[in-house]
Structure 1
């Protein structure tokens, strides 16, 4: 199976990717859209004609972003809805309130490399709970709306950091191993990629495609809690940082571009499908553990059991 390529690359912007794309009549949900590449993803999709809902923790910040999107695009149908991914009742309230079809779900929200081990009320490690478990519950709750849309797309924002750790099924929540900030973040980002692999299989008959992506390095609020070890500080100092418009380009490609119509279960970076990397030291591509179909099926089962679904 050949890799999917496009005319776009690492420096392409959202507007370049969506040039000529008409999303009129399409309904979109973007999580974490109150800042960073989530806000830019929402703006770009609205500019292309989509009716966008910003699913956010901070309603005030979300409303400010919505107002800016309306001012920039002229679209008055940009809405804001509360969503706390670590609170199952909040996720369920969001999905119950949704009416009608949903054409695109962008699972964008996330937290990165918290310096200290933090847990939810269920005892789940906070990064895994936020980045994977909350989005998993959200996607399952919106499955009916996605199926009703016909040809819906789910986009899972992963990270190049996934290469640092697989999903450790024997100790998902650091109950027996020492907590390490970047290992926890990497595990959650591997989970994002595995979710797309299994969703592509389970939801194919519903006409739903699911893909994951690495947006690249963008200086946003995501780094505000990050624990920068000397190794990570050196990486950050030399990173080829992108603008939000460049960082969100692969997200909007997967959300809306006709160039990836029907593509599902793949991992993208730089606006193209990534090759499977030869080892963890390889700085680009996707590690085998993040696209392993057996691990993907196991994660789906484990996640469902943890949530009692």
Structure 2
């Protein structure tokens, strides 16, 4: 079994069995936080204006957390914030503009952040489409799904470290099973572009980030994990985080069910100190069995690849 990083930063094999919780594939985010008191804790949720991000933010707010919706569309964010306040009674909901495709926008958000940050949920995602590039020439899906979140997390490292027990949650997808990261051509400048391959690469990068961030930052009390939320139909696209764009046989979830695993990983007391893992259906996943759509691919948890991708990403976001 491929080695993953633990809280102390050492490497150990992931247990063969899934680490089960009392929640399942049909649990909702509100069920996950029932009984939890997150008052005094602060969270940032990217893409929190709709879908899984909105339901993630709603659940965190329901438990009393201060939640910042980091969104590209401020007006949509304000509508989402009003909805969360109305449904939870929590008025400590903030909205900030962050365009993950533009690194200067990410840097501007980081400069405005003050104080500790306990939970960073990297939820926003660009979905498969025609080849588009950012102003810096980065392939859009890789830029939004990985590079923007990489710059956000590394920029917020002081705030995460100040929390003492911070958690980062990156949203991956079972699509990661279809492609590793191509460290020699991350931007599709030499190989033929395929939207599904670009999406798969970006979601592999989300897992590799969790592996390396935990290795580097566990000593600061920061752990990172990747999650597969499940297939969720959204208004702008079928299933941006699951398998629907690649396979018609999908067990669909509601957005509230899709948010359950991210919220669990961000909050569950029983997961304290666990990092560098891939979760699905509210449990630590096993390694993928070829031919199935569940579990993690070995290429997504390789520690050497994780380190190389981190170094490459740091160069790209400078």
TM-score range, shorter chain: over 0.9
**Is 1:258 matched up with 2:269?**
yes
What is the total number of aligned residue pairs between the two structures?
A: 301
In 2 relative to 1, CA 20–12 (structure 1 residues): closer, same or farther, beyond 3 Å? same
What's the counterpart of residue 157 of structure 2? 143
**8 Å contact 2:196–2:246 — kept in the other structure?**
no
**8 Å contact 2:40–2:66 — kept in the other structure?**
yes
Q: Structure 1 unaligned runs (5+)?
A: none
**8 Å contact 2:126–2:144 — kept in the other structure?**
yes
In 2 relative to 1, CA 21–302 (structure 1 residues): closer, same or farther, beyond 3 Å? same
What's the counterpart of residue 104 of structure 1? 119
**8 Å contact 1:110–1:222 — kept in the other structure?**
no
- What is the CA distance between 1:88 and its match in structure 2? 1.2
What's the counterpart of residue 104 of structure 2? 89
Distance 1:103 1:273 in 2: 21
Distance 1:136 1:190 in 2: 13
**Is 1:294 matched up with 2:308?**
no
Alignment of 1:146-295 (within 5 A): 146-221=160-235, 223=237, 235-236=247-248, 238-279=249-290, 281-295=291-305
**8 Å contact 2:175–2:246 — kept in the other structure?**
no
Q: Where is the helix percentage greater, Structure 1 or Structure 2?
A: 1
**Is 1:117 matched up with 2:128?**
no
SS at match of 1:151: coil
- What is the CA distance between 1:306 and its match in structure 2? 1.4
Alignment of 1:19-38 (within 5 A): 19-38=34-53
- What is the CA distance between 1:111 and its match in structure 2? 1.1
Q: Structure 2 unaligned runs (5+)?
A: 1-13
Distance 2:185 2:29 in 1: 38
- What is the CA distance between 1:235 and its match in structure 2? 2.4
Distance 2:218 2:246 in 1: 42
Distance 1:234 1:276 in 2: 20
TM-score, length of structure 2 as denominator length: 0.92
| Residues 195-204 or 9-18, more deviating | 9-18
SS at match of 1:39: helix
- What is the CA distance between 1:7 and its match in structure 2? 1.3
**8 Å contact 1:150–1:206 — kept in the other structure?**
yes
**Is 1:6 matched up with 2:10?**
no
- What is the CA distance between 1:221 and its match in structure 2? 3.8
What's the counterpart of residue 43 of structure 1? 58
- What is the CA distance between 1:232 and its match in structure 2? 6.3
SS at match of 2:237: helix
- What is the CA distance between 1:75 and its match in structure 2? 1.0
Distance 1:282 1:296 in 2: 24
In 2 relative to 1, CA 235–202 (structure 1 residues): closer, same or farther, beyond 3 Å? same
SS at match of 1:268: strand
In 2 relative to 1, CA 4–42 (structure 1 residues): closer, same or farther, beyond 3 Å? same
